[in-house]
Structure 1
Amino acid sequence: MEIEARRPYRMGARAAAVEATRARILEAAAALWTRRWYDDVTLQHIADEAGVSVQTIVNHFEGKDGLADVLADRLASQTAVVRQAPTGEVQAIVAVLFDDYERHGDANVLWTAQVDRVPAIARAAAHARSQHRAWLEQVFADRLPAPGPAREHELALHYAATDIYLWKLWRRDLGLSRVDAERAMCDLLTSIDPRKRNHE
């Protein structure tokens, strides 16, 4: 009976250890890929950062592309949780978006620049675009038209007004403060509100 009682404990401890190793590998890969180009980071670099062997990474993720796919899914799920904003409140929506961009914007821009060369990143970017669109539909539900061409037009405008490259332009290229950049995005989103444009 004692042996039987110990077995589930051992299995649970082993599963927890496996999950901890997997998380450590993902964190190491994320840390490296936020600073360096995808092609410049090898499995050995990731293994060294995580304190594991290359074979351990292969056992968990099959290889670099598999690791990138899992990491992209993990980051996407984290983004969905972080971006909670009240519908229709432009300032709050922009503040939530900037919280995300200020933390991950530079890394996302680095990844996006590699879309044409790295299939794993292209898949991640496609998922991110779909997720951002769904977020826009949620937070601007009060102003978007019913499904159809007019809605697609408005979503295109709102996507452009909240795109990460606009954040990069204001914060990195033009050197605006976060306060000024947020105000600029708020003004832009207010100016493209279809409810106001349609009554002009």
Structure 2
Amino acid sequence: MPRSYTMGARAATTAATRDQVLAAIFQLAATRPIARITLDDVAALAGVSVQTVLRHFGSRDGLLDAAVEHSKREVLAERRPTGPAPAEALAALVRHYERMGDLVLRLLAQEDDERVRRITDLGKHLHRQWVAESFGPRLPPDPATREALVDLLVVATDVYAWKLLRRDRALSRPATEARLLALVHAILAQADAAPAPATAPTSTSP
């Protein structure tokens, strides 16, 4: 029993240290370009040694990879709607943007850095996937029409749309959410108006 308890405590300490280091790199990424973040910076902010960081993540690249994977899990969890209605999807999205939107915008401004571009490319892929899953049931089955409407929904819910309203216009969070939802409803109205696919006539035997 004491041995089991000791192993459990050690595992908890290891996980806590790992979380501290990941929190540190996210905090640094909010204030400076990724290219300028060093292991010394991360270790100092996390309150650990560089050797501890290396022991957990292997290298600076390993740390960045772990941070991206951690962020991906958080994004998927945060954006998960509480129900099928567009308003619920938008509420989850805006909640995510309120927490991470400014950091995402900082990363998008660093896309000349190949590593950062890989991160933002993943983010764009996840956003399009979220749109297709969140609003898919309302979209027509015709592939071309469906794809065009997904394009419009991606634009209407993009982080830059949030920035224009929330940061540039300085609107409140509820007002920002309401305007984004109005855009989504307008696009989904097009989806509802899309003609149903023609069905082939059934042949009857003479």
TM-score under structure 1 length normalisation: 0.86
CA distance in 1, matches of 2:169, 2:71: 28
Q: 1:127 aligns with which of 122, 126, 141?
A: 122
Q: Does 1:181 align with 2:137?
A: no
Higher relative contact order, structure no. (Cα contacts within 8 Å, ≥ 6 residues apart): 1
| Stretch moving more, 182-191 or 98-107 | 182-191
Alignment partner, residue 191 of structure 1: 186
RMSD over aligned Cα atoms: 1.9
Q: Which runs of 5+ in 1 are unaligned?
A: none
Alignment partner, residue 161 of structure 1: 156
CA drift at 1:149: 2.2
Alignment partner, residue 62 of structure 2: 66
1:78-112 Cα offsets, whole Å, 9 max, x none, are 1211222222x222222221111111110111112
Task: Give the letter for the 2:160 counterpart.
Answer: Y
Moved over 6 A (4+): none
CA distance in 2, matches of 1:147, 1:134: 18
Task: Give the letter for the 2:39 counterpart.
Answer: L
How many matched pairs? Answer: 193
Alignment partner, residue 44 of structure 2: 48
Task: Decide whether aligned partners of structure 1 residues 42 and 198 sit closer, same or farther in structure 2, where only a CA change above 3 A counts.
Answer: same
Q: 1:22 aligns with which of 13, 18, 24?
A: 18
CA drift at 1:197: 4.3
CA distance in 1, matches of 2:43, 2:5: 29
| Stretch moving more, 170-179 or 6-15 | 6-15
| Stretch moving more, 160-169 or 31-40 | 31-40
CA distance in 2, matches of 1:76, 1:46: 20
CA drift at 1:19: 1.8
CA drift at 1:137: 1.8
Identity of aligned residues (%): 36
Task: Give the letter for the 2:36 counterpart.
Answer: D
CA distance in 2, matches of 1:159, 1:81: 19
1:99-143 Cα offsets, whole Å, 9 max, x none, are 111111101111121122141x22222222222222212221221
CA drift at 1:33: 1.0
CA drift at 1:181: 1.8
Q: Which runs of 5+ in 2 are unaligned?
A: 196-206
Task: Give the letter for the 2:89 counterpart.
Answer: I
CA distance in 2, matches of 1:156, 1:30: 30
TM-score under structure 2 length normalisation: 0.84
CA distance in 2, matches of 1:195, 1:64: 46
Q: Does 1:145 align with 2:147?
A: no
CA drift at 1:6: 4.3
Q: Does 1:136 align with 2:121?
A: no
